[in-house]
Structure formats: C-alpha cells, structure tokens
C-alpha cells in the first residue's frame, strides 16, 4: 500500500509432478514443457509456481502462465521477494529469487494494470 494505492500479489505453489510435464535433460540443463527450467541445475524441479494473482487498486489483473511456468524453486520469503509500485501506480514490480542450490536466478516482473506484462532474468547471481 502506498497512499491510496493498494496491491496484493498472491503466489500459489505446488509440488512439481513430472508425470504432468514433458521433462528432458539437454547439455546439463533441464527442459520442462519445451522451456528452460529456471532454478534447477540439471535436476528435476521440486516446486513450481501454480499461479500468480494480482489485485491492483481493486482490479483483478490476469497474469498468464507463460510469465511464470518456467520459474521453479521459488524463494518467497521477505529476503528473496520484493514488491513495489511502478512510478505511475499502474504497474507493480515484483522481484523474486529462486534456486535448487546451484541453479540460482532472479526474475523481475512488471505486471501492468492494462495486461501488458514483462519480465527479465539474471542467472547465477
């Protein structure tokens, strides 16, 4: 909350079930459903993000699965997760780290009220 602006971001996680995905190993990297699995170091993931929900100033903002379905082993405590408003208060910037120990990453999402979301990654910070 900042002034009259309010944002609520809810992460739902679950145990990763390999039988519900196509999992491959390629060049010491894990590929899940055709995408590089962030947060693993060649291992099968343990935890996946099931959904991200955003309520921004009373508006439910849809976050498509493509923005988080390749992010595994999320660290959702206060040391590895930060949420802040964008300058115009029409977006929320979420920074999260994840790792299985060696396969560390940091993702920065910009979730916009109008649905035009973006993200960026840094690996092995």
Whether residue 111 is contained in a domain is answered as: yes
Range of the domain at 34: 7-123
Whether residue 1 is contained in a domain is answered as: no
**Edge-to-edge strand list for the sheet holding 35-36:** 23-26, 29-32, 35-36
The pTM for the full model equals 0.91
- The reported pLDDT for the residue numbered 125 is 54
Whether residue 2 is contained in a domain is answered as: no
Whether residue 118 is contained in a domain is answered as: yes
Distance from C-alpha of 108 to C-alpha of 68, rounded to nearest angstrom: 11
- The reported pLDDT for the residue numbered 97 is 95
Total domain count for the chain?
1
DSSP state of 28: T
Per residue of the chain (125 residues), give pLDDT as tens.
Answer: 677 899 999 999 999 999 999 999 888 889 999 999 999 988 999 999 999 999 999 999 999 999 999 999 999 988 899 999 999 999 999 999 999 887 799 999 999 999 999 999 998 65
47-56 vs 91-98, strand pairing mode: unpaired
* Contact between 7 and 72 (Cβ < 8 Å): no
**Edge-to-edge strand list for the sheet holding 47-56:** 7-15, 47-56, 59-61
Q: Where are the alpha helices (DSSP H) in 19-97?
A: none
């Amino acid at each position: 909350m900042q002034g009259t602006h309010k944002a609520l971001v809810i992460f739902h996680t679950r145990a990763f079930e390999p039988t519900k995905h196509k999992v491959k190993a390629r060049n010491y990297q894990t590929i899940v459903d055709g995408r590089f699995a962030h947060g693993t170091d060649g291992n099968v993931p343990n935890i996946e993000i099931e959904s991200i929900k955003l309520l921004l100033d009373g508006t439910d903002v849809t976050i498509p699965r493509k923005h988080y379905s390749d992010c595994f082993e999320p660290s959702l405590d206060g040391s590895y997760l930060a949420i802040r408003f964008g300058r115009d208060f029409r977006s929320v910037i979420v920074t999260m780290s994840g790792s299985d120990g060696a396969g560390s990453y940091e993702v920065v999402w910009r979730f916009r009220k109008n649905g035009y979301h973006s993200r960026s990654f840094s690996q092995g910070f």
